[in-house]
């Protein structure tokens, strides 16, 4: 007959076995993270606000069928603000027919959104700079369109790392997120693009970044490339009689001419993630953006791909051996 005992039920179970019987048993998968949660203090459980780290992303992708979006942009082009805006939009309700289901990085989203909106004393709200010392981190978003549920992970890292990789291609190996990309988004700052003092250099540098990544084959051939023209609110007013929209359209057409036949699906979209300078513009292009990012791809074609530039592969083989 079993008698009721107080204490740990697991130890009760073990009491029914001899030590020799239990020692050799496989304990099964133990969830280490369960032991790492912060202890309750005053009945408040703290939740971590970390992103999915580089070493955790492979396991996450193995467990879930996800779309991986990689954000690339110089410093202050609006990468983190875009992520904050995504969260902010889902807080208000469905976005373009997509409903929010969940997120493994909810606290990180909330923190970015809070920081993007705070500091009312500043002329413009600002997110803290993503530090070059931080490795890449991934945000997670699970959304639903009717019966179809999709998982999206989005990388965020410091713009300085991309700037360094543009001028020194040996640093491209460090952009580990690119190998996982289903979609690579290059953020193009509309304000810098149309500013007379900065536009010349910025136009050249922006193309140079895409060219460096495409020519060094660090973007998977199956990935879609999109250029996201950010901060449209800042160029919506007429400036010194110039038609800023037409100037941007001209550059966008140049990009499509130059990269449209590089072997990738290549598109340009205008977005506004923080319509501060022209409130009427609203969150331009954000619904469409979420729709594209969460779209479920067709089943992957696993047939071996033909090799088009075999000589370049031979060129690179010493790198693999070294």
Ligand X SMILES: Nc1nc2c(ncn2[C@@H]2O[C@H](COP(=O)(O)OP(=O)(O)OP(=O)(O)O)[C@@H](O)[C@H]2O)c(=O)[nH]1
For ligand X, the closer of residues 172 and 274 by Cβ is 274
Q: Using CB under 6 A as the criterion, which residues of the chain lie in contact with ligand X when the complex forms?
A: 73, 75-81, 124-127, 129-130, 158-159, 230-231, 233-234, 272-274, 276-277
For ligand X, the closer of residues 152 and 273 by Cβ is 273
At closest approach, how far in Å is the CB of 127 from ligand X?
4
Q: How far is it, in rounded angstroms, from Cα 142 to Cα 102? A: 5
**Considering CB under 5 A, how many residues would be counted as binding Mg ion?**
3
Q: Which does 233 bind (CB under 5 to 8 A by kind): Mg ion, ligand X, none?
A: ligand X
| Closest CA relative to residue 206, chosen from 222, 189, 220 | 189
Q: Which does 274 bind (CB under 5 to 8 A by kind): ligand X, Mg ion, none?
A: ligand X
Regarding 230 and contact with Mg ion (CB under 5 A), the answer is: no
At closest approach, how far in Å is the CB of 184 from Mg ion?
17
Regarding 80 and contact with Mg ion (CB under 5 A), the answer is: yes
Given 103, 104, 130, 155, the residue binding Mg ion (CB under 5 A): 130
At closest approach, how far in Å is the CB of 277 from ligand X?
5
Q: What DSSP assignment string belongs to 100-151? A: EEE-TTHHHHHHHHHHHH--TTSSS--PPPPPTTS--EEEEEEEEETTEEEE
Who's near 89: CB < 8 A, 6+ residues apart? 95, 283, 286, 290
Who's near 100: CB < 8 A, 6+ residues apart? 90, 94, 141, 142, 143
Other Cβ atoms closer than 10 A to 187: 25
Residues that bind Mg ion (CB under 5 A): 79-80, 130
């Amino acid at each position: 007959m079993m008698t009721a005992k107080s204490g740990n039920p697991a130890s009760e179970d073990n009491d029914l076995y001899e030590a020799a019987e239990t020692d050799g048993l496989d304990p099964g998968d133990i969830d280490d993270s369960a032991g790492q949660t912060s202890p309750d203090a005053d009945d408040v459980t703290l939740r971590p606000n970390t992103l999915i780290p580089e070493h955790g992303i492979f396991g996450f992708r193995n467990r879930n069928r996800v779309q991986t979006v990689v954000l690339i942009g110089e410093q202050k082009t609006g990468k983190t603000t875009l992520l904050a805006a995504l969260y902010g939009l889902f807080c208000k309700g469905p976005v373009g027919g997509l409903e929010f289901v969940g997120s493994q990085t909810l606290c990180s989203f909330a923190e970015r959104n809070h920081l993007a909106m705070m500091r009312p004393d500043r002329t413009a709200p600002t997110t803290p700079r993503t530090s070059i010392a931080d490795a890449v981190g991934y945000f997670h978003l699970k959304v639903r369109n009717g019966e179809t549920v999709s998982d999206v992970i989005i990388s965020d890292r410091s713009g300085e790392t991309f700037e360094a990789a543009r001028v020194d291609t040996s640093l491209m190996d460090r952009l580990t997120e690119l190998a996982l990309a289903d979609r690579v988004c290059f953020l193009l700052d509309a304000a810098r693009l149309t500013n007379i003092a900065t536009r010349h250099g910025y136009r050249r540098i922006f193309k140079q970044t895409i060219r460096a990544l495409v020519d060094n084959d660090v973007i998977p051939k199956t990935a879609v490339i999109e250029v996201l023209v950010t901060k449209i609110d800042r160029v919506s007013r007429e400036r010194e009689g110039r038609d800023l929209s037409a100037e941007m359209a001209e550059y966008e057409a140049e990009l499509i001419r130059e990269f449209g036949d590089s072997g990738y699906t290549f598109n340009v979209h205008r977005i506004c993630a923080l319509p501060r300078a022209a409130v009427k513009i609203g969150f331009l292009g954000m619904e469409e953006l979420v729709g594209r990012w969460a779209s479920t791809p067709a089943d992957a074609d696993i047939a071996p791909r033909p090799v088009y530039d075999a000589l370049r592969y031979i060129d690179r083989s010493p790198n693999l051996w070294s």
